Chain A
């Protein structure tokens, strides 16, 4: 099937098998290997990306379901060499160790902060329930998300990860054709 997907600000047009998972499309066709696969059942959340600004588990979606949509991965968060506040907060709070869950965890945290601008401990923990981390015991992840909430207000809100039209059109496709 033919699909057209905007990923991290670049529009790709591709022929894909209907069964191809979105995460495999991202990783193997587009080289977006920042997004990873941690399980087969949607439990671990390592593959979390944004579809039109909302978090989805890209191992639970087909590439064809992303046709005509905008996908943001961990690789599309930084702007002009400046990290997203959630990325900064994960670094500053030592919220990662092996880092395998981190891309999904950051994408989910951004989604959470879009709904909760000043989440308490329990809200963060519940909001990240679908993302497993085996290294950190979550303590510093919770701290990082709360720290990010402070960093993101006011002004630098979570819409930051979404692409403005002019931003998208100013970039040339670099592959996937």
Chain B
């Protein structure tokens, strides 16, 4: 065994995962073909709200290849209710959530019947032969109207209000009273923003295969959360957890969209049990958009109090959050994840957050990249710009005036968190330099003076986020049903090779590569000698899976601890082998030596000795494996400064990003290649929210953006090249110093783009434009024709003009 020449931590290792992905040797769930396998097709309600008065399956049942047609009534006794693991308040209203509708549908796309057939084509054919009579009910779509409770999504609940969740800095002892700050403020800014509904749009459609065998069930699923899924499938169906094995094979993206326990996972399991044969379901893209959970969809009313010198004093946030028709796994908690982030990097004296969750007849919402934190970051970064405009101050100056200085860390925030580390000045200075901030301001001034058709805007986002989800005690305090620890195992094989088992569940992040680097670094073994196993509850029996930028900060730390345990045992055995005192044993570059002598045992020698167990110290167990589970005591807080320059064509409304600089501080970087990739992809999704994507429903509640022709996931031609760099202040909450990077780009970029576009056209009388800022919306705003509902604002969209909006 040789030591690695270059340090593994921080090295731009090319990914191990690529070998199978670039050659097509992947194992997507839909690739599986099992002997005797049946195919499941799902009939979905075309109507958003209706009673089901009759279902006639007789024609479908007699079609070629059809084994059985099943309805909600067939499963009523066994399907239970899909789980919601985050009852955010004691009195939260939660309707039963059947996997297959029984008697009533509550959103268009809800599953109403299944065809089980010998081929996917024949199953799809038979769907068309199922006759269903619907008795339509009033459709509830608008959150503010929903809160009037005139028409109810779930009549049995008696209201469309799901829950109200409040944080108040005065009550929490984290700050002063926000109403006092507002009353005594020299400046009060009130704005309402709309966070449009988005669709995660992972590239691999969801797929499930269930194989039954004598009371044992193997479930393959395109999921981010095999461990949670196993637990929840057991809870929902009553099948004992030890009779379920869940495998997440190669998974093609998730972005929170596969952080779910889906109706189809439950149904495939129940059908496999009923039929005694393997069953597969793979969705079409349209099915995915109609039934996989959506993200965002909030109305945000903000009140910011400040002094005329630009110092912010108080922030009040009143949210309406659209749950859709049901509460899925963490639906009600998503806006609450934003509760601690609206104050962001700024030193508010007072903060109050009130979130009202609302039911509508729409696809359920749940986690989408950033989950609650992009919404919060958008709102505060928009508000800081609004304050700058109000006071006639330079927008970066106003941020600088208010942010936490680098010497003030650790810093206790008004939202009750402790930010462990950061340096906003350093990240900002680097970003300004890369961007050429002053030169672009000059160029902007020239174009304004010249009345150029194409105006230039500069947008700022100085963000932070909380990730590394999460300290279990905090999750408990927030009424989340599970913990936030992570686990890892290291198996030292007799030949010196290493198997790592992780409880994280990668679906594009590159854990196989980075986990190998961490182990190679700690144990001094070659990178190539490490194999990472994941995503199968039979090999990785314990884990909390991947989401919330947690895998490295939490799962990576568990791995470090497991490596330390391996080395501790190996050191004891090495001392025994070298007949010396343990305190005289040194370990470096994969070898143990006795201090001051030439006696050496490689880790491989020691592992083999442990394995053959011929001569172990008294009481030592054979073998050299270790498990470790890590529960963080704090979140991690990546931050950064993003600057976006846009060119806005005032004649067409077309927006072009001409420069985008992202300087992120994600703590200590394990692999810069992978970090850059995560930032790029995050930026693309955040920019997409600003400019392109929106899930829309018509007045009947039908999703009108149910294909990739209608829902504008950006292509290469729609996005700019990004200029990325980093500053580094290590996290103090874990030994790697890592903060997490999965969500940073998405969280930061949306307000940078929107601020930029508004900066380009504000001098033309535009105050706000709703996202996505399509050419039509930008052009309309520039015509000085307010959209319906406009108030005092001269021009602009729905976004900020409804000052009376939000909740009562």
Interface positions of A (Cβ within 8 A of B) = 17, 19-20, 24, 27-28, 32-41, 43-44, 46, 73-75, 77-78, 83, 87, 90-92, 94, 96-103, 106, 121, 124-126, 128-142
Q: Could you tell me the distance between the alpha carbons of A140 and B782 in the complex, rounded to whole angstroms?
A: 36
Number of B interface residues at 8 Å Cβ cutoff, please give it: 56
> Does any Cβ of A come within 8 Å of B285's Cβ?
yes
> Is B684 engaged at the interface, CB distance under 8 Å to the other chain?
yes
Q: Is A96 a contact partner of B22 (Cβ separation < 8 A)?
A: yes
- CB of A140 within 8 A of CB of B23, answer no
Interface string of B709-752 (1 = CB under 8 A from A): 10001011101011000000000000000000000010000000
Q: Could you list 11 examples of A-B contacts with CB < 8 Å?
A: A36-B204, A38-B204, A40-B285, A44-B203, A83-B23, A94-B676, A97-B508, A99-B508, A133-B716, A137-B683, A140-B680
Residue in A closest to B33 when the chains form the complex, CB atoms: A28
CB distance B252 to A139 under 8 Å? Answer: no
**Does B82 lie at the interface of the complex (its beta carbon under 8 Å from any beta carbon of A)?**
no
Residues of A within 8 A of B253 (CB): 97-98, 100, 134-135
Give A57 Cβ to nearest chain B Cβ, in Å. Answer: 12
Q: Helix, strand, loop or mixed for chain B's interface?
A: loop
**Is B26 a contact partner of A33 (Cβ separation < 8 A)?**
yes
Which residue of the partner chain, among A75, A128, A134, contacts B202 with CB atoms under 8 Å?
Answer: A134
Known: A44-B708, A73-B24, A125-B717. A137 touches B680 (CB 8 A): yes
Alpha-carbon gap, A75 to B26, bound state (A)? 11
Interface residues of B (CB under 8 A from A): 14-15, 17-26, 28, 30-31, 33, 121, 201-205, 250-253, 255, 284-286, 507-510, 673-674, 676-678, 680-685, 707-709, 713, 715-717, 719, 721-722, 745
Q: Could you say which of A28, A41, A92, A131 contacts B14, with CB atoms under 8 Å apart?
A: A92
The answer on a CB contact under 8 Å between A121 and B707 is no
Q: Are B18 and A138 in contact (CB under 8 A)?
A: no
Q: Which residues of A contact B721 (CB under 8 A)?
A: 121, 139, 142
Shortest CB distance A101–B (Å): 5
* A90 to B15 alpha-carbon distance, docked (Å): 11
Q: In the bound complex, what is the Cα–Cα distance between A148 and B258 (angstroms)?
A: 33
Q: How far apart are the CA atoms of A160 and B253 in the complex, in Å?
A: 31
Q: Is the CB of B31 within 8 A of A75?
A: no
Q: Known: A41-B709, A75-B23. Is A98-B508 also a contact (CB below 8 A)?
A: yes
Task: Let me know if B716 and A142 touch, CB within 8 A.
Answer: yes
A-B interface, 6 closest residue pairs, ranked by CB to CB distance from nearest = A34-B24, A99-B21, A100-B252, A98-B508, A137-B684, A137-B680
- For B22, give its contact among A106, A133, A139 (CB under 8 Å): A106
Given A41-B708, A125-B719, A140-B677, 4 additional A-B pairs, CB 8 A? A33-B31, A94-B676, A137-B722, A139-B721
Known: A41-B709, A44-B708. Is A137-B715 also a contact (CB below 8 A)?
no
Does the CB pair B709–A91 fall under 8 Å?
A: no
Give CA–CA (A138, B251) in the complex, Å: 19
Query: Which B residues touch A139, using CB under 8 A?
Result: 680, 721-722
Q: List chain A residues, Cβ under 8 A from B745.
A: 137
Cβ contact within 8 Å between A43 and B709 = yes
Contacts A40-B707, A137-B684, A137-B722; is A132 near B713 (CB within 8 Å)?
A: yes
**In the complex, what's the smallest C-beta–C-beta distance from A27 to chain B, in angstroms?**
7
Contacts of B28 on A, CB cut-off 8 Å?
Answer: 33, 36, 100
| Docked CA distance A97–B506 (Å) | 10
Closest to A140 in B: B677
Given contacts A40-B286, A91-B22, A128-B715, contact A100 B203 (CB under 8 A): yes
What CA separation (Å) do A101 and B203 show in the bound complex? 7
Known A37-B205, A38-B205, A138-B719: A99·B708 in contact at CB below 8 Å: no
- Chain A residues near B722 (CB-CB < 8 A): 137, 139
The answer to whether B22 and A137 touch across the interface, beta carbons within 8 angstroms, is: no
Q: Which of A17, A92, A124, A139 has the most CB of B within 10 A?
A: A139
Return chain B residues, CB-CB under 8 Å to A142.
716, 721
A38-B285, A40-B284, A97-B677 given; A103·B204 CB < 8 A: no
